Amino acid sequence: MGFLNFFTAEQPPLVKQALGDVLVMLDNGRDMFDAAAAHLLDNEILDVNLPALDSDINRREQSLRRAVLEHLTVDPRRELVFCLKLISIVQEAERIGDLAKLMGKTAGLAHKPRMGPLVEPLRHVRGRVLDMFDQTRRGFEEEDASIARHLMEEQRQIKEELTRYLHQLANNEHMTPNEGVIYAIGGRATSRISSHLANIASTIACPFDQIRRSQTWT
């Protein structure tokens, strides 16, 4: 049974709307990250309104919270854990929007185009994170624990890779301070976005008290 079909009976309208909001938040977050990363890492023109998409994510987060609260007020025992997991999911999705917006703003701090060996590792990881967005949406819709576990392992590897990258930046004596700031922010934001996606995946694979934990993804 998929996550979107969790309810034993027909989904209440408010909860059905909330589930739809989660999917739109993920889609908006992916669009924001894709555009912001292209602007920061590939020197492309930013043709996406990041503040507008971020505002839409924030609005949907509030809407979902109201829907869950109203549902629990009417029937507090029905699918309580499911509703708590929804609240956890929107917290993660909201942060993705903020981080993508940060990446877009960081490009404006750069003194020159981003080219060469310093940016290539971030471009590589960017592609993996975009794939994580697609798999997170699929795992959420299908409640596929195997996809969720794969995502959490992927995030662990990305985190380790970007941690090594940041250490290399810190010990690079040939780049300018401006380059160090730009690439460090880009790497850190990318790592955090992958973490938020993995945290969303953990709501599928783990009991409520164990979400956001990575010790036992087997």
* Structural domains of the chain, with CATH: 12-210 (1.20.58.220)
- Mean pLDDT calculated for residue range 178-195: 97
Flag whether pLDDT at 127 surpasses 90.
yes
Question: Whole-angstrom Cα distance, residue 57 to residue 137?
Answer: 15
- pLDDT of amino acid 194: 97
| Residue 122: other Cβ atoms inside 10 A | 20
- pLDDT of amino acid 7: 43
- Mean pLDDT calculated for residue range 115-144: 93
- Mean pLDDT calculated for residue range 22-47: 95
- The structure's pTM equals 0.87
43-53: pLDDT as tens digits: 999 999 999 99
- Mean pLDDT calculated for residue range 46-65: 92
H or E element: which one contains 43? none
Flag whether pLDDT at 73 surpasses 90.
no
- pLDDT of amino acid 197: 96
CB 71 within 8 A of CB 7: no
CB 106 within 8 A of CB 186: yes
Residue in the structure block whose two tokens are 């049974």: 1
* Sign of the dihedral through C-alpha 97, 101, 102, 106: positive
Q: Which two tokens stand for residue 194?
A: 């992958």
- If one compares 202 and 215, the residue with the highest pLDDT of the two is 202
